């Protein structure tokens, strides 16, 4: 995963340039608060890039948010479910899969509802 300051979104597709276009898991999102808990549990600093989520957000809780709409700037993402960690997590960092498992700490996957642009510093809120 390559970090970028902004990304283009396409409705029903996902992020422009992302390998996974369309389908059920268009975008993966992880909360910084959950990542911080994972790092504390592991007991050593771990770069969040190894989690391989598309977006790392702060200011919201992602647990139990299926079917809610997350706003990042003016782009809407419908949360479809919990992202469960796979064995590749332990290949990157021993113990990471277990630390991410449960309580939605591995983040969520979502569908993109709007064409637009998201960028570092955009407000992240829940749509009513």
pLDDT tens digits for 21-39?
778 889 999 999 999 999 9
Paired tokens of 16: 């422009």
pLDDT of residue 128: 74
* 36, 61 Cβ separation under 8 angstroms: no
Nearest to 75 by CA among 24, 41, 29, 19: 29
Mean pLDDT of the chain: 92
* 112, 13 Cβ separation under 8 angstroms: yes
Q: Name 37's bridge partners.
A: none
Beta-carbon contacts of 56 under 8 Å, excluding residues fewer than 6 positions away, are: 29, 30, 31, 32, 35, 48
Look up tokens 């790392």; give the residue.
Answer: 56
Q: What secondary structure letter does DSSP report for 83?
A: P
pLDDT of residue 52: 87
pTM: 0.91
> Would you say residue 69 has pLDDT above 90?
yes
* 48, 71 Cβ separation under 8 angstroms: no
pLDDT band at 1 (very low <50, low <70, confident <90, very high): low
Backbone angles phi, psi at 36, to 5 degrees: -60, -40
First-last CA distance in the chain = 31
């Amino acid at each position: 995963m390559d970090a970028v300051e902004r990304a283009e979104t396409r409705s029903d597709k996902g992020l422009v340039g992302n390998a996974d276009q369309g389908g059920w898991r268009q975008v993966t999102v992880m909360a910084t608060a959950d990542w911080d808990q994972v790092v504390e549990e592991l007991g050593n600093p771990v770069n969040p890039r190894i989690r391989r989520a598309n977006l790392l957000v702060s200011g919201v809780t992602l647990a139990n948010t299926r079917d809610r709409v997350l706003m990042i700037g003016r782009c809407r993402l419908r949360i479809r479910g919990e992202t469960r960690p796979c064995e590749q997590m332990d290949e990157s960092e021993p113990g990471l899969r277990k630390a991410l498992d449960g309580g939605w700490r591995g983040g969520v996957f979502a569908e993109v509802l709007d064409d637009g642009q998201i960028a570092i510093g955009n407000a992240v809120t829940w749509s009513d």
